[in-house]
Structure 1
Amino acid sequence: MRSTSLWFVPALSFCLLSAASRAQDRKPTITLDEYINTTDIVGTSLAPDASAAVVATETPDWKASTYRRDLWLWTAQGGLKPLTHSGTDQQPQWSPDGKWIAFLSDRAPAGSADGDADGESTEFSRVWLISASGGEALPLYSEKLDVDAFSWSPDSSAIYFSAKSPLSHDQEDEQKDEWKDVVRWREQYRGDVLLKIAVGRALARAIEVPLATETPTAAKADAEPSSKLPTGAETIAKCDLAISEIAPSPDGKQVAFLTEPIHKRIENPADYEIFLVAASGGNIRQVTHNQAVESNIRWSPDGHWIHLSVNAAGGSLEGKYRDVQGRLYRLDPASGKTERLGGSFDGSLDQYTLLADGRELALGLKGTEAQVYLIEGEKATKLPGRAGSYAGLEPARASNAILVRLSTINDPPQVYLAADPLQLDKLKKLTSFNPIFAERTQPEWQPYTWKSDDGQTIEGVLIFPPGKKGAKHLRMFTMIHGGPADADGNRFGADWYDWATFAADNGWLVFRPNYRGSTGYGDEFMLGIEPHLVSKPGRDILTGVDALVKDGFADPDHLAIGGYSYGGYMTNWLITQTTRFKSAVTGAGAVEHAANWGNDDETWDDAWYLGGRPWENPKLYQDEAALFQFDKVKTPTHLVQGGADVRVSYLEGETMERALESLGIPHTFLVFPGEGHSLEKNPWHGYIKLREELKWLEKYDKK
């Protein structure tokens, strides 16, 4: 029997592989237009009884040079159908009674005047409501208040929301008279106000507004209040910081909220804390005091605990700030004491959800996959699941059913319903976005491990051109992930940032290294990047390239490199360390650290990585900066940068371009006007970025 199996199984495997290869050969290669025209799933919400779900999507609108943000409603009877049509709708939340869906939208209420005659933004993200059975959406209020966060009250009678404290008309006039258009860098910032509006009265008022087809008269526009609180709004709390999350207690008596810096720059983790206030208003009590960046606050169903997470590179509740892996905690609001949950897990725990019966599930990233774990005290137990990476856990209030998203390198994310949350291998598929990828040839992948120069084992991912898995002497593109608190693995990516599969479709072996500083490999591995921000992970990456050349996968005469954000940092550094790469594509990566520390909106993290502020460790700031070694650069380099980037200053790109120009190194520099660190304003920017980066690789490395 064993002898028969040894002969039969390989032959069968060969037949299956040959059939699969022939099927791939019959499919066309995906085009750039098809590849980047993807619909992203950016949010979900499940009805309390799990009978319906809302899915939020983001899709390029090429004619309007923007992105559409739409909501879809899934029901067992009708499947998936459009719910809203404005193109600016996001962050859906189902009411606890299941009758309404609240969401944020930049659409203007009928009869309003959201103009910018006084230099204000024309877009105000208001709370809107739509019936779970469909129909027209109605605004919760019409005033010009830009929402930071919102949440339903437990009895569905009201909505809490936060917005920047408005100025009175007199205060606005005084400010304009005295300061004109001068920006007072810190003094002009105002904290948030936490408001509560009764839904019934708000809907009654909304129904009485003029029809959307009416054109407001000049008198109406002039009379539109620009800075008053909404009619009927109760002020629950005023805060010197911005309020980023709101969580009413299950009994409706208290409201927990999480703060963040008004200016949105992480200069001090102490700006991220949890506070409590009575639902009727009154004194505010701070219940956390730490150096972590807390997020995702939720009450346990019994109201005894507030659960929270600290994402990877967000510090921890234990001691001084360190960039460690994601952690889960629960807080006793009465005493302020916290307990760490799932501490035995040696990967990164970031997203989590609480079931109706109080059990906690969390996404655990370990190696190349994110799977779902049951959290019981210190213990984290991996649940049955499918290959790939899970995301977006969303529970039902009155049922233990949950929504999840699942993707693989070749399969775009889809939304699934799990009736039994402990059996995540048994899922009901609710969406079928981006079917084009199944109709085109697809690359194959495998994990790859090697030893770095100090003996540390490093893991990465190899993505082969279609039909060439295991082939040797391929031209290779080393594509470095950002973060650095991230990891590449078995999950889908198809956009201007993550285009590894498109490179593979165009004949490149793509090497994606999870260097030190990456998540999913333990705290010690992640902490190994500090304080050598680029040199330590740089050696991890180069030893990986050497190993792939030695193993015969990569052709040493046909190597290219690239990355964006921290991947850009590393690309900029590595072209000063070696001339082996025929070309480089880099974006939003610093070439020095002192000026970037002053500009970066994550300046606290920068200082941690480099062992202090610039004057506290000037030698390391210089030693770890690519700029001071640019005399070694020989690699033709293509640069991109958002013109309004404050994560990595646009001036970093200008500095690098000038250095390349002065050295006579072939290069190009593309600037995307109005874009920040993420190219989220205009889809054409991402399209052009990807198009030109691939052209640059092809120009300098044809095989």
Structure 2
Amino acid sequence: MERDVRSTPQYASVGKLYSGLFAPGRDHVHVARDLRLGDGDKLYFTGLSFTGTLEDGPSDALYSFDRCDASLTLLRRGARLFRPSPDGRTAAFAIDDGFEIVNLDDFASVERCALPGMIEQIHWSPDGTRLAVLVAGAHADVSGAEGGYALRTETEGPAWLPEIDEGGAEDVWRRLWLWHRGAEEAKPLTHPPVNVWEASWKGPNAIAVVASNHHGEGSWYQSRLAEVDIATGGLRELHVPAEQMAYPTGAPDGKAVAFVEAVCSDRGIVCGTLRLADADGVRTLDTNGVEVTNIHWRGDGRIHYAGQREFETVVGDHDLATGKATDIWASQSLTCGEWYPATVPDGDRGALIFTEGYDQAPALTRVEAGEARILHSFAAPFSRPDAGVMEPLRWQARDGLEIHGWLIRPRNGGGNHPLLIDVHGGPIWSHRNRWMARLRSAPLLVQQGYAVLLPNPRGASGRGQDYARMVVGDMGGEDAHDIMRGIDHLVDQGIVDPKRVAVTGNSYGGFMSAWLVTQTDRFAAAVPISPVANWYSQHFTSQIPSFDELCVQGSPREAGGQYFDRSPAFFAHQANTPMLLLAGGRDKNTPPTQALEFHNGLLEAGVTSVLGIYPEHGHSLRGYPAYLDSAARILIWLDRHLGPAEADRG
């Protein structure tokens, strides 16, 4: 495979699809996030648009939306984490070197404050007199969900000077800073060895935090819920979870903290049980079977949430007085949020969400009493590609367990399609019904006559914690068989050609697409992206060694066990599937040496293997132009090893 594929027809088809979806060079907002309510009918959000070419990638900007006249207004490019003050007169947002305060009537700057590092959260105190700002140090690691790399700063001296790691420098910690209105600078509230991952005001005098005693990304897995006293900076422990936790959200009166507790494989991607810590202890709250992924207080008496319930995305409220939950809106054909469903309470009974579905572009939508009303669509003005249909799929595992997934196939149905399986990351995550599947090449393959299977094997989120825990200590075991049984089901239904099946995926999906080809010869091609190939070296080179200790049985310090038995690199000699391995050079989640180990093992065994490492990209290759280039390479690889689909459709 050539190093530069930009002149190929596959790259051209990728460019055509995404130009239609994103309208590059036209300042078209194609996706929105981080919605905030202002005074009256004003809403604020961060929108992404391609102001230049596709290869330049998207940039973010702050927008306002007026519900009265449905007008969209660009306010500031590069603004992040926009947070209106409680009185609705001012707002704070992150800038490159700190944060800025502006008046909301004319957006004039009022105050600015510099901070050392990257701001990750901003929270106004309930009385609007202070800001709590969570700052990652200038060389801190970022999560796999954000790219899985270490932050960088401009360094003095020549480029050949080495990067130095002493294991605990001052600029790798995450700290809370406190700023008072009118102050020239913010003051640090927490100090090492306390590392704060998330924060929320708990009344006017305390801040609830998820914190650990180490700065390393892997220490998040052992985090605890605590309360920081504003006056002293001291910590009081509130709860130590049995597994992991996230989304601490303090009640307005300061008497309770809501949070989500769950078994997790990635920081920032948490789906689980809604819990409440108050003077009576910690208890679980009813959510009508919903695995919760986002929470807000609707006053002191109700907790508003979004989450997943099997195939459904659900928005609801829990009433603390009655102990009962109520669905506000639920849908199988639409979802909302980025990694997981997200919502913002609106009024007494409604909510605002950014909806999307496989055949519906993202839209700002208000939901209430089961109804959804689109306020603004982010669909590009001149393109709506016909990329088939997406439908929920169920099949039976070899032990009788029902497995779920999503199937995309050409609109006219038919059978004997070549199949691409795209395994999600995690493993404790899940595929949802998202706009064009949010996958690099899936819509293009369906247009060519492929079927695409998006399996949610055991361990996937949205079906309860017991289901999620099934992958713990057995990654690459029954979950692998779940995927294989999904292929069997589609073959038995006459939908798929059993001789033309390929597999791909990112992260856990990269591991699985590398692992499967060492266990079976059923695949005609494979494209692991950001894979794990050797659990021993993964443990000692990754930023998240706690992850393999969670999901793999045995010890990285002992011979044998699953650290050997579930490492694709040690079984490369059993593979015969042509392999295209892709990885990011800056990836600290699954370092590029993982792909290199498997590649060299395959070549040594005489297996066709191509390795592509993108030197300036991180985990899962979500940045541009690597995203476009990797999509084109998947098409090239499948064309080469499965052949064109159209010729067989008849």
Which TM-score tier does this pair reach, normalised by the shorter chain? Answer: 0.7 to 0.9
Residue 178 of structure 2 is aligned with which of 158, 177, 196? Answer: 196
| CA spacing shift, 1:601–1:83, aligned 2, 3 Å | same
The answer to whether structure 1 residue 620 and structure 2 residue 562 are counterparts is yes
The answer to whether structure 1 residue 411 and structure 2 residue 360 are counterparts is yes
Question: 2 CA distance for matches of 1:616 and 1:50?
Answer: 62
Question: 2 CA distance for matches of 1:552 and 1:359?
Answer: 49
Match of 1:218 in 2: none
Offset of 1:240 from its aligned partner?
2.3
Residues 208-238 of structure 1 deviation map (CA, whole Å, 9 limit, x = unaligned): xxxxxxxxxxxxxxxxxxxxxxx34345443
The answer to whether structure 1 residue 462 and structure 2 residue 407 are counterparts is yes
Equivalent residues of 2:293, 2:342 under 8 A apart? no
TM normalised by structure 1 equals 0.78
Equivalent residues of 2:305, 2:316 under 8 A apart? yes
Match of 2:576 in 1: 634
Equivalent residues of 2:304, 2:316 under 8 A apart? yes
Q: Mark the runs of 5 or more structure 2 residues left unpaired by the alignment.
A: 1-14, 139-155, 646-650
TM normalised by structure 2 equals 0.84
Residues 418-443 of structure 1 deviation map (CA, whole Å, 9 limit, x = unaligned): 4x5xx24143x333213358632141
The answer to whether structure 1 residue 331 and structure 2 residue 277 are counterparts is yes
Question: 1 CA distance for matches of 2:218 and 2:18?
Answer: 36
Match of 1:515 in 2: 457
Question: 2 CA distance for matches of 1:69 and 1:264?
Answer: 28
| CA spacing shift, 1:181–1:699, aligned 2, 3 Å | closer
Match of 1:555 in 2: 497
Residue 277 of structure 1 is aligned with which of 229, 236, 246? Answer: 229
Which of these two proteins has the greater Rg computed from alpha carbons?
1
Cα RMSD (Å) of the superposition? 3.2
Equivalent residues of 2:42, 2:67 under 8 A apart? yes
Offset of 1:94 from its aligned partner?
1.5
Offset of 1:181 from its aligned partner?
6.0
Question: 1 CA distance for matches of 2:371 and 2:489?
Answer: 36
Match of 2:510 in 1: 568
Offset of 1:379 from its aligned partner?
4.6
Aligned residue pairs, count = 596
Offset of 1:277 from its aligned partner?
0.4
Match of 1:440 in 2: 385
Residue 75 of structure 1 is aligned with which of 50, 54, 66? Answer: 66
| CA spacing shift, 1:260–1:675, aligned 2, 3 Å | farther
Offset of 1:627 from its aligned partner?
1.7
Question: 1 CA distance for matches of 2:175 and 2:563?
Answer: 40
| CA spacing shift, 1:90–1:615, aligned 2, 3 Å | same
Tell me the amino acid that sits aligned with residue 519 of structure 1: S
Residue 159 of structure 1 is aligned with which of 128, 131, 139? Answer: 131
Question: 1 CA distance for matches of 2:355 and 2:113?
Answer: 36
Question: 2 CA distance for matches of 1:294 and 1:687?
Answer: 34
Equivalent residues of 2:202, 2:255 under 8 A apart? no
Equivalent residues of 2:275, 2:282 under 8 A apart? yes
Match of 2:49 in 1: 59
Residues 55-104 of structure 1 deviation map (CA, whole Å, 9 limit, x = unaligned): 11233455583431111101124534334343x22222121111122221
Match of 1:295 in 2: 246
Question: 1 CA distance for matches of 2:170 and 2:294?
Answer: 31
Tell me the amino acid that sits aligned with residue 411 of structure 1: Q
Residues 180-227 of structure 1 deviation map (CA, whole Å, 9 limit, x = unaligned): 96624323245455333233x25xxxxxxxxxxxxxxxxxxxxxxxxx
| CA spacing shift, 1:273–1:301, aligned 2, 3 Å | closer
Match of 1:100 in 2: 90
SS in 1 for 2:518: coil
Residue 32 of structure 2 is aligned with which of 41, 48, 62? Answer: 41
Equivalent residues of 1:30, 1:440 under 8 A apart? no
Residues 626-683 of structure 1 deviation map (CA, whole Å, 9 limit, x = unaligned): 2222122111111110001111111011112212222332332221112221435x41
Residue 185 of structure 1 is aligned with which of 166, 179, 193? Answer: 166
Equivalent residues of 2:583, 2:620 under 8 A apart? no
Match of 2:194 in 1: 241
Equivalent residues of 2:217, 2:543 under 8 A apart? yes
| CA spacing shift, 1:602–1:233, aligned 2, 3 Å | closer
Match of 2:264 in 1: 313
Offset of 1:314 from its aligned partner?
6.3
Match of 1:31 in 2: 17
Please give the residue correspondences for 1:576-655 in structure 2 after superposition, counting only pairs within 5 Å.
576-615=518-557, 618-655=560-597
Question: 1 CA distance for matches of 2:626 and 2:250?
Answer: 41
Match of 1:670 in 2: 612
Question: 2 CA distance for matches of 1:664 and 1:146?
Answer: 46
Question: 1 CA distance for matches of 2:515 and 2:632?
Answer: 24
Offset of 1:291 from its aligned partner?
4.3
Offset of 1:306 from its aligned partner?
1.0
SS in 2 for 1:435: coil
Equivalent residues of 2:265, 2:426 under 8 A apart? no
Offset of 1:311 from its aligned partner?
4.9
SS in 2 for 1:657: helix
Question: 2 CA distance for matches of 1:298 and 1:267?
Answer: 21
The answer to whether structure 1 residue 304 and structure 2 residue 304 are counterparts is no
| CA spacing shift, 1:367–1:385, aligned 2, 3 Å | closer
Equivalent residues of 2:83, 2:93 under 8 A apart? yes
Match of 1:266 in 2: 218
Offset of 1:697 from its aligned partner?
0.9
Tell me the amino acid that sits aligned with residue 307 of structure 1: A
Offset of 1:555 from its aligned partner?
1.1
Tell me the amino acid that sits aligned with residue 208 of structure 2: A
Q: Which has the higher strand share?
A: 2
Equivalent residues of 2:441, 2:634 under 8 A apart? no
Offset of 1:610 from its aligned partner?
1.3
Displaced runs of 4+ in structure 1, greater than 6 A? none
Tell me the amino acid that sits aligned with residue 17 of structure 2: T
| CA spacing shift, 1:501–1:264, aligned 2, 3 Å | farther
Equivalent residues of 2:431, 2:454 under 8 A apart? yes
Residues 577-636 of structure 1 deviation map (CA, whole Å, 9 limit, x = unaligned): 222222111101111211112223332121121124323573221111222221221111
SS in 2 for 1:507: coil
Equivalent residues of 1:672, 1:685 under 8 A apart? yes
Q: Calculate percent identity across the aligned residue pairs.
A: 20
Question: 1 CA distance for matches of 2:382 and 2:429?
Answer: 25
Question: 2 CA distance for matches of 1:679 and 1:165?
Answer: 24
Match of 1:699 in 2: 640
Q: Which moved more, 1:323-332 or 1:480-489?
A: 323-332
Question: 1 CA distance for matches of 2:393 and 2:166?
Answer: 48
Question: 2 CA distance for matches of 1:95 and 1:155?
Answer: 9
The answer to whether structure 1 residue 371 and structure 2 residue 314 are counterparts is yes
| CA spacing shift, 1:236–1:281, aligned 2, 3 Å | farther
| CA spacing shift, 1:460–1:236, aligned 2, 3 Å | closer
Question: 2 CA distance for matches of 1:165 and 1:656?
Answer: 34
Residue 104 of structure 2 is aligned with which of 132, 139, 155? Answer: 132
Residue 341 of structure 1 is aligned with which of 285, 299, 302? Answer: 285
Equivalent residues of 2:174, 2:197 under 8 A apart? no
